[in-house]
Structures are given as C-alpha cells and as structure tokens.
C-alpha cells in the first residue's frame, strides 16, 4: 500500500508524541500544532479549528505544505478528543479522522476504556505528563508564585493573596495527581515536577505507564471504527452521548 498524504491538526500537548511517530511513519505528514490554552473556551477553539479546515480546503492555509504535483491530502487527522465539545460541528471537504476519546489523557494511556476505568476507580485525579509540564502552566508551586506575582503587581499583599486563593479554589475538587510515563521518550524530570506539585498541594501521587498504540495507529492509518471516527467529506461531527462519543450527520 502506498504511503498516505496526511494533514494533522493537533493540540500542542501532543507535540512530542506525534512528532516522534510522524518521523517514524511511512506516511507523509504535515502537522499544525495549536496552543493548549484555546481549550479554555471550546466554542472559540471550534471556530479556530474550522477556520484552519476551511483554509486547507481552499488551499490557502499559511501553516500547511501541500502535497506536490497536484496531489491532495488523503485525510485530515485531528489530534483532539471531544474536548468539551470542541470538535462538535466541524466539517471539511476532506475526510476527517478523529479518535473516539473524550480528551487527550486517553490518547496518552492508549485507550478510552483504560482512562474510563481508572477515572471511575480514582475520581478527583489531576493528570500530568511531560507534554503538559512543558506547554501549559500546571498546578504546583511555580504556578502559585506566578499568580501571586501577577496579582501583587496590581493589588496590595492581602488582596493579592485573596485573589490567588480564589483562583486556586478549583483544586479542592481534586484529591490526587497521576503522572503518565511515556513509552516514546524519557520523562523522568517531568515526573519529579508532578511529584513535587502533588506534595506542595497535598495531593496523593501515582505514576502510570503510557501506551502509544492508539496514537501510533492514528498516524499509521489503522482506523478501525471502534477507536476512530472517519468523517466523509461534507459530513458534520456530532456528539453521540454514548460509548461511541462522536459520530456524523
């Protein structure tokens, strides 16, 4: 089977994993990474993703190197899960491929079922891995100090500390931290970051082995219907509210 021409649009928290897998793949891949903080407002992130897709469909995307000799992409791969509805409503003139997961944690663990089972047995878990530590502010002492510095520049000491406490109230919904150790690269330093963060906050801490199988098959083009949604050109992604997670209409 000849190599596929694949365009990939992914959250930057998958940067290390996808870069490694793309480098090893026989398929031809062109990757655009989008910053993780866009997830903070899913509707705006959806609009940004649709803009990327429309630009690729029109051959005008500033981030994309198009296949040579008038070849087109065989598919556009979206390196996201449902992600609070971010992918719902997306459409393209190209075939889209999206993993059937709620968010990227399942991608790092290797399956939706493994993530769901762990979450059911360990509610209130905050997740870390090397990608998260490198590309986004994660809970811990450095984040606390950065918030305190930010507010102290505008308010007196007592007011600044009160605002920091309020900004960190969400942590009360969590009781533990889990670090995913990659099977693709060394992540020992980042594991220490998560251990120190958990100790600082007062969370329990545990480490799980990651599994790159799902992402490896994603890049390889092994898109079985149980793990991946393949969206035909012109169809729209919808949330199914069942074990399939996403579908089309």
pLDDT, averaged per 10 consecutive residues of the chain (249 residues), comes to: 92 95 96 88 91 94 85 95 92 97 95 95 95 91 92 90 92 95 95 96 96 97 97 97 95
Kindly report the backbone phi and psi dihedral angles of residue 241, in degrees, each rounded to the nearest multiple of 5, phi listed first. Answer: 60, 35
pLDDT at 70: 80
Strand 96-99 with 228-231, pairing: antiparallel
Specify whether 18 is located in the same domain as 90. yes
Q: Which domain holds residue 95?
A: 5-106+212-248
Specify whether 161 is located in the same domain as 184. yes
C-alpha closest to that of 190 among 201, 177, 174, 202 = 177
Specify whether 73 is located in the same domain as 136. no
pLDDT at 122: 95
Structural domain count of the chain: 2
Specify whether 100 is located in the same domain as 221. yes
Please give the Cα distance from 246 to 10 (Å, whole number): 17
Please give the Cα distance from 68 to 14 (Å, whole number): 27
> Long-range pairs for 23-27 at CB < 8 Å and ≥24 separation?
25/219, 25/220, 27/3, 27/219, 27/220, 27/221
pLDDT at 157: 84
pLDDT at 15: 95
pTM metric for this prediction:
0.92
Specify whether 102 is located in the same domain as 117. no
Specify whether 91 is located in the same domain as 9. yes
pLDDT at 42: 86
pLDDT at 237: 97
């Amino acid at each position: 089977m000849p190599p596929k021409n694949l365009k990939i649009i992914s959250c930057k928290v998958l940067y290390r994993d996808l870069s490694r897998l793309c480098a090893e793949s026989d398929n031809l891949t062109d990757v655009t990474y989008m910053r993780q903080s866009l997830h903070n407002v899913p509707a705006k992130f959806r609009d940004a993703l649709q803009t990327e897709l429309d630009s690729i469909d029109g051959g005008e995307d500033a981030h994309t190197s198009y296949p040579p000799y008038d070849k087109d992409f065989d598919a556009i791969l979206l390196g996201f899960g449902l992600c609070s509805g971010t992918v719902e409503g997306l459409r393209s003139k190209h075939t889209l491929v999206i993993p059937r997961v709620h968010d990227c944690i399942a991608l790092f663990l290797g399956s939706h079922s493994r993530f769901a089972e762990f979450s059911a047995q360990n509610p209130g878990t905050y997740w870390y891995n090397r990608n998260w530590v490198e590309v986004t502010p994660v809970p811990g002492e450095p984040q606390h100090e950065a918030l305190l510095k930010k507010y102290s520049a505008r308010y007196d000491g007592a007011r600044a500390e009160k605002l920091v406490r309020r900004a960190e109230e969400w942590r009360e919904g969590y009781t533990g931290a889990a670090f995913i150790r990659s099977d693709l690269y060394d992540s020992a330093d980042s594991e220490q970051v998560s251990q120190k963060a958990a100790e600082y906050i007062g969370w329990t801490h545990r480490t799980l082995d990651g599994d790159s199988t799902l992402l490896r098959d994603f890049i390889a083009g092994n898109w079985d219907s149980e793990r991946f949604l393949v969206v035909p050109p012109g169809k729209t992604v919808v949330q199914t509210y069942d074990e399939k997670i996403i579908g089309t209409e």
